[in-house]
Structure 1
Amino acid sequence: MRAEAEREDLLAQLSSASQRMEDVFRQAPAFMCVFTGPEHVFELENERYLQLVGGRSSIGVPLREALPEIANQGFIELLDGVYRTGEPVFGTDVPVMLQRRPNAPLERRFVDYVYMPMRDPAGQVTGILVHGIDVTDRKLAEIELYESRERFQKIVSQAATGVVQMDPEGRITLVNQKYCDLVQRTEAELLGASVLDVTAPDSLPVTQEAVQRLAAGEAGVVIEKEYLRCDGSCIPATSSVNALRGPNGEFQGLVAIVVDTTESRRAAEKLRASEERYRTLFESVDQGFCILEMIFDEQERPVDYRFLEMNPMFEVHTGLRDAVGKTAKELIPTLDDFWFETYGRVATTGEPVRFENPAPAMERWFDVYATRLGGPDSRRVALLFSDITARKQSEETLRKLATDLEEADRRKTEFLATLAHELRNPLAPIRSGLSVMRLNSDNPASVARVREMMERQVSHMVHLIDDLLDIARISGGKLELKKERADLRSVLSSAVETSLPLIETGHHELSVDVPEHGVPAEVDVTRIAQVVANLLNNAAKYTPSGGRIGLSLRVEGQEAVVAVSDNGIGIPPDALTSVFDMFSQVGQHLARSQGGLGIGLSLVRRLVDMHGGSVSAASGGPQTGSTFTVRLPLASGVQDTLLHAAPDASDGALGGIRILVVDDNVDAATTLSMILEACGYLTQVAHDGMAALAAADAFRPQLAFLDIGMPGMDGYDTARAMRKLEGLEDMTLVALTGWGAESDRQKSSEAGFDRHLTKPVQLDVVQDLLAKLGT
């Protein structure tokens, strides 16, 4: 019984030991596996082994089938040798290619291993124990370190700059050929020497200071120094020096990258001199200069630019101040797109341009040369420019002057031709009239008709020559105005009387609109009447037969406004200002058919200007008629008087007065009648004594103006007869005559006249008479 117990106890101990050995095998930090038989069938494998081969468990599978990728890598042959000879095999840093993931490329690993034979009690090899360590990480680090050292050595040896390494005391431990060439010494001469031995005396302080700073903890410094060559000469260089430190940060030496700066210093000196010359030119050139940075939107369209730099003349030529860093749109918000597009094209294409163009937003003209700065990727543009506004204005002035001279010459030629035509026209009938008078000298009636015709033609010639003389006097400053205080209504009446024959010849309807109160102004009565008559004559001549002509007078502020309108041929818009120029005629063919020299409106403007007034023309265009407006200053202190003198709206008594106008001069009678009607009175006209009596009996006037010198029944006889008409005994009779002596006034009083007025009668006198009558 006890033997049996001891045997079981021994088996238990063996089982426990076996379990412990299996646990040690599986948990070992090295990879382990056991092969049995000559085919190297897997019997045991631990976790580290599975990690090495990608987790592929192969218990009971021959090695060739379990890891087919190791075929031809020599491992199976080594195992065969161990199994055959019983001798172990060792391997260090051995590479092996393994497929650690399905369908993945083979992966290189490095292992240290030993193949140990396993024997049976008889000493025969029955299997092999494989024990090893995966040293891939260490081996790769060693390879990387080696390759890094190789690269460093190659870089140092082939570097275009000098490389020198020093120990903490500054003794040289490594140099490349470039450094040797720089200081003109061999590698053998430099190794072990102090870096101070090859340092120029003037550079010793900066070198020693750099070493001290690096030893004290700085990572790196850059110094400018000079190296001492063996021939005693010095060479400038830039040294970028870095500290070498150990694992614990201890200072172990220095390494410096040394660049020969001889050429760069020489280039820098040239650049400095060039920049100095450029800056001198930049500051002294009398043209504007600036550098722009173009700004593009997301579609690469140029939309603005920024000012980077400019010379002092920039402000002079542009008027822009403090422009650096600002954009064009910030400084000139309304700048047109031409400038962005032009400079953007220069920036993108690299093609320089030269052009002249206005900048309306800046009210200037510029002559500009623009070119790109830099390569294709650059967006910078340099401008050299001048403000040529004055030149452009001069050119425009000269161009306009040349045009004006050509126009003046053309008008002068036309004027001379027209003058010849206008003078020949009256001369032809005069010449013919002389022949008629010679042939019909015994026919008084025929001679009288011819004489009247010749007088009209001579009068026409005198009018033409008077206009010419007036223009000449004004141009020469020899025309003197004889100003007097006058009621402009009377002046208009005189002008209408002058123009009425021409108006009636054209069968035109004339309407006159003047205020009831006087409109006093300091004017030359004759000249202003001439102005209005010229305007009325023009309206009559350039309005087709049966047209309408209007004449009005009103007060606006401190001005009297006279307007002459018609529904005639009108004026083209582009001729509204030039119509007042010398020799100008609107509608040349029609104008010539109507006669005239084209100086009437020029004379109008000059006479009005001399009175301190203005004249303007308005028209909707051809065949729409026209209106000429004359503005004259009122007599000083008149405005308040006019305001207070304006009739009250309720005062309508005067408008009911009936007035009879009697004059054998049809024009004179019609003119006075029109003026009175414009003032709101009822009028009737008669041209001889008998017609006047009939009109008075039918019209029953309260007031009658009688011309004295009428043929047949004169004014005196007419007045006496009117006094006898029933119901008209109290009618006011006013004599109108060119005779003003006291004896003439006495004679009219004896004939029954209440008032005696001499021609030409002033309208304000008539107005005062009517006002008294109304009361």
Structure 2
Amino acid sequence: MQFERRMTVVGSGIFETLDALLDAPFALCSVVTDSEGRPMDYRFLRASGCLEEVLGAGALEGRTARELASHLDNAWVETFGRVALDRTAVRFTQRADATGRDYEVLAAPLDPPGCFAVTFRDVTRSREHAAALDHAQRLLRELGHRVMNSFASISAILAMEARAAPPEGRGALKRVQGRVQALAALYRRLDGAPEMESTEVGGYLAGNVQGFRSAFAADLDIRCDLPPTTLPTRTAVPLALILNEILTDAAAQAVEVGHFGIRVSLHREGDSCRLVVEHGGAAMTEGSVGRSLAAAFAAELGGELASEAIPGGVRTIVAFQV
């Protein structure tokens, strides 16, 4: 079929309507084949003004792709040949050497056989952004591994120092080690998480309690009521450090005065949260390092640290808004 005849099968009115409606480069084309019917080029039957502007080669109607780019990648011709001759629509992304840009391309067959419609969407910036984001994520993962290794090294050093320290200094070193482990637990939880702005703190605190129980090397009866609770990530570290200070003080009392149980709970109602720790000992000593730190972390949350007597022990409460 000659070029002139193929031009007649495309309604000018329809094309002009599409040109006005579509905010993207597009064209109606026909495949040029060799003597054996193999695709060797394609010709523009109609081309949108947007496409002509992108290519910057003037009017495209009647011209072939190889006239515009003598070193045209054969992949374009082969792909459009399959669309036009095998009657199969395709969508793919490829770089166009003529413009140096990346395009998402959608091509579909038209009648008569050998013709096709094609539209282009410039995705260069999207692909560049995706590549930059992937690179940043790889760097972040590498940084996370290094931070975790640093936490592990610091924790190991503190454990060695605690074993070698005189009895009166071991408690302080263990408390510092607990703080390091609380931070390390949060990094492990955030590593690879899809969301960085918030985290599920119920499981995070439960993991901290388990780690505390193991590190303390004592038969501690710690019972938890920590339902899944999503909070801003910025609240997770102060909350974990508060819990660590309270547990450390309670565990020290349990060893000193005898065995008693410890109960830990976290509950949220609307924007209000309460962390509660109950045990059979006494309240944290006013002015002690542990209580001062716990109060400071509570203030960081915009809340307060309070204690009240209960039958057979004490209840420590941290209430804050999220």
* TM-score range for the pair, normalised by the shorter chain length: 0.3 to 0.5
When the two structures are superposed, what TM-score results if normalisation uses the length of structure 2?
0.44
When the two structures are superposed, what TM-score results if normalisation uses the length of structure 1?
0.20
Q: Which has the higher contact order (CA 8 A, sep 6+)?
A: 2
